[in-house]
Structure 1
């Protein structure tokens, strides 16, 4: 029976270990004089991220889920462009939503490198009064292809967890007055604002089928060892 206990503990341990995988979350905000810029043509709006005087777009302000918070104080950039079309805007009261297309490269690292780089993809965009956000509706995976050769603990964890389950980048912004997606797509001068956001990884959670298989394995092991114990007692 002791063997049965160890076998069942091993299976349950594997199951619980899978459930307990921790995700890392980095909080970011734009640095001084760095903005996200909306350039409207009347039919669409293109979004780009400009750098400040020091060549950075944002700074990492907080780190959760990683020992030591070693990425706090690092800086990064977002290159590339993202866009949405006026024809694709859905309006519900004061809420406007649209699909966001385009890709860019997010870079995070200390001065002199090496830097972590990853592909960031557009998913969706919304506006609600004076606030809005990118990938804030569904928080779907939009960070991939992470590369990093340095030794920063948090960046290494970010790289490994994105490789294992994917990453999610969300960006939020705010204007002084209500500004809809329609208004941001109007032809005219570019509109810019500061921003903040998060970079997080996806926690590994077993599929229902995997959970069933794990518990079935425990039951089968139990029946097998119980039958063996009965035969030894006979």
Structure 2
């Protein structure tokens, strides 16, 4: 009986020592087309997180975003393993990792996004028991029409002018 209880106690201790998921959700307000986001993570080594940052756009826009996690000292305390953009249909665009280690840097950019609800997903793992953090910025710019759009606009106005002149003469 003592052996069974000891085995249960050891299994319970091992189970409780497993990594925890310390994910969260936040909202990014784009009042001026840009804003900061980030989080201080206070957990144990091995804890994972997948943080969701919601935002919405009412017009067509271009997007640039970045996230960085810097660990002071010589021991890496956090690892950012993913940075993605999702739309309301679940379609995603992955970010690009520029460095990892004492400084994890990711960027993401795209153009001609349509009005929709979006979210950024930042995922990673704590590598130590000290508090760690990451920070990021999201910038949106109203999309500027392509040169072809201006060409079609000028061509269309020219055609309307030609038809108006022809009608006036006839």
TM over 0.5: no
Structure with the bigger percentage of strand:
2
Larger Rg: 2
**Higher normalized helix content (fraction of residues):** 1
Which one scores higher on RCO, CA 8 angstroms, separation ≥ 6?
Answer: 2
TM-score, with length taken from structure 2: 0.40
TM-score by length of 1: 0.31
